[in-house]
């Protein structure tokens, strides 16, 4: 194999891994969109919120410490204990479920039957709100998140590929773990929606709200459930991205990265989110590798959007989306 080809292969592999992470975020969007027709812009901020809460709980930070200190003139920062990662994850999941309930109770319930674009804008408002709350609760400084996932160069792959090609591939352990977890998550979600009662109810709601209501499914409960599941996906995504690049504001911007993934894959399809993520991941890495140096680099900022834009002109519903039928 020529050098260029080997480099390109490594780029593609890394792109696939990045794509899995994009797909993980996109998955949260698809879940909510399918069940309630809401395009949840706040998904990225939910991931940030989950990651910050996880770090905060693990370190035993006092929530709203900054605000309490400013209001009462005291000086508290930490409870003085640390909590093991697994327990902290469970606690964070509890917070996310609470959040799901609050969103349903205070926001979405009052917006039933509004136009989709109004709902979309409401989730933008929610994103701002959550971001502010997360910053107030846990402080806005960059935090490191370590729940014990392996990180760094995978030596085995490096050695093996060196033995075969004479060039070691650089692949992060974390990316491999993320891939495995994403695969498990998708399998679990599919199993959940196919084989459990709640999962079936969820699909029924996605299919037709009124029909679901008339056979006795509680829409309220299903929506809380869907937002909780989305919160869980956000938590997983938050852990992955947070471990990779630190828990900070830019984490919430992965929501924007997930948008072109969704457009490629179609808003309503779980496999679409995965395939779309992989295409975007590989596409932007390859484009940066091949064309980036010619035009000044950092093409990753826009490549995904432009690819999705061009793609949509030819297939407006995405790869796996349901055919859009419009009637007057």
Total residues in contact with another protein, by rule CB under 8 A: 50
The closest alpha carbon to 226, from 48, 24, 40, belongs to: 40
Beta carbon of residue 70, minimum distance to another protein (angstroms, whole number): 5
Q: Which of residues 277-296 bind another protein (CB under 8 A)?
A: 295-296
In the shown chain, the binding pattern of residues 2 to 41 toward another protein, with x for contact by CB under 8 A and - for none, equals -------------------------------------x--
Give the separation between CA 145 and CA 213, rounded to whole angstroms: 42
> Does the protein bind another protein through residue 157 (CB under 8 A)?
no
Tally of CA atoms within 13 A in the half-sphere of 121 that contains its CB: 5
Please report whether residue 249 would count as binding another protein according to CB under 8 A. no
Residue 156 tokens read as 């085995």
**104 forms part of the interface with another protein (CB under 8 A):** no
306 binds another protein (CB under 8 A): yes
Q: How far is the CB of 21 from another protein (least distance, A)?
A: 19
187 binds another protein (CB under 8 A): no
The answer to whether the beta carbons of residues 52 and 134 sit under 8 Å apart is yes
Residue whose pair of structure tokens reads 């080997």 in the numeric block: 6
Q: Tokens 């834009």 map to which residue?
A: 309
| Residue span 47-86 as binding mask against another protein, x where in contact by CB under 8 A, dash where not | -------------------xx--x----------------
Residues 6 or more apart whose CB falls under 8 angstroms from that of 249 comprise 48, 131, 140
Q: Does 87 bind another protein (CB under 8 A)?
A: no
Pinpoint the alpha helices (H) of the chain. 3-36, 43-59, 65-72, 85-106, 116-138, 155-165, 173-195, 197-207, 209-214, 219-245, 254-265, 270-290, 292-295, 303-314
Q: Which of 84, 94, 132, 293 binds another protein (CB under 8 A)?
A: 132
Question: Which residues make up the interface to another protein (CB under 8 A)?
Answer: 39, 66-67, 70, 107, 110-111, 114, 116-118, 120-122, 124-133, 135-136, 140, 256, 259-260, 262-263, 267, 295-299, 301-302, 305-306, 308-309, 312-313, 316, 326-328
């Amino acid at each position: 194999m020529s050098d260029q080809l080997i480099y390109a292969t490594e780029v593609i592999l890394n792109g696939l891994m990045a794509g899995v992470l994009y797909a993980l975020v996109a998955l949260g969007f698809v879940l909510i969109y399918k069940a309630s027709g809401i395009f949840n812009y706040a998904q990225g901020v939910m991931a940030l919120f989950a990651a910050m809460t996880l770090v905060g709980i693990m370190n035993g930070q006092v929530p709203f410490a900054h605000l309490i200190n400013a209001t009462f003139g005291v000086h508290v920062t930490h409870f003085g204990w640390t909590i093991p990662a697994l327990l902290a994850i469970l606690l964070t999941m509890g917070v996310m479920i609470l959040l799901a309930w609050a969103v349903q109770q205070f926001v979405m319930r009052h917006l039933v039957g509004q136009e989709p674009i109004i709902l979309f804008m409401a989730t933008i408002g929610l994103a701002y709100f959550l971001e502010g709350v997360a910053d107030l609760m846990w402080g806005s400084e960059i935090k490191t998140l370590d729940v014990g996932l392996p990180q760094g160069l995978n030596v085995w792959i490096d050695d093996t590929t060196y033995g075969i090609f004479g060039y070691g591939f650089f692949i992060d352990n974390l990316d491999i773990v993320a891939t495995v977890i994403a695969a498990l998550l998708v399998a679990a979600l599919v199993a959940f929606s196919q084989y459990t009662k709640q999962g079936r109810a969820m699909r029924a709601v996605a299919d037709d709200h009124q029909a679901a209501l008339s056979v006795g499914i509680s829409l309220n409960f299903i929506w809380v459930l869907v937002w909780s599941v989305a919160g869980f996906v956000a938590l997983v995504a938050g852990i992955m991205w947070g471990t990779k690049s630190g828990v900070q504001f830019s984490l919430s911007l992965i929501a924007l990265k997930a948008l072109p993934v969704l457009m490629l894959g179609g808003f309503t399809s779980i496999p679409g989110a995965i395939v779309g993520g992989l295409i975007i991941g590989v596409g932007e890495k390859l484009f940066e590798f091949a064309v980036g140096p010619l035009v000044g680099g950092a093409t990753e900022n826009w490549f995904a959007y432009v690819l999705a834009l061009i793609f949509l002109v030819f297939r407006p519903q995405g790869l796996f989306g349901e055919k859009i039928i419009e009637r007057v």
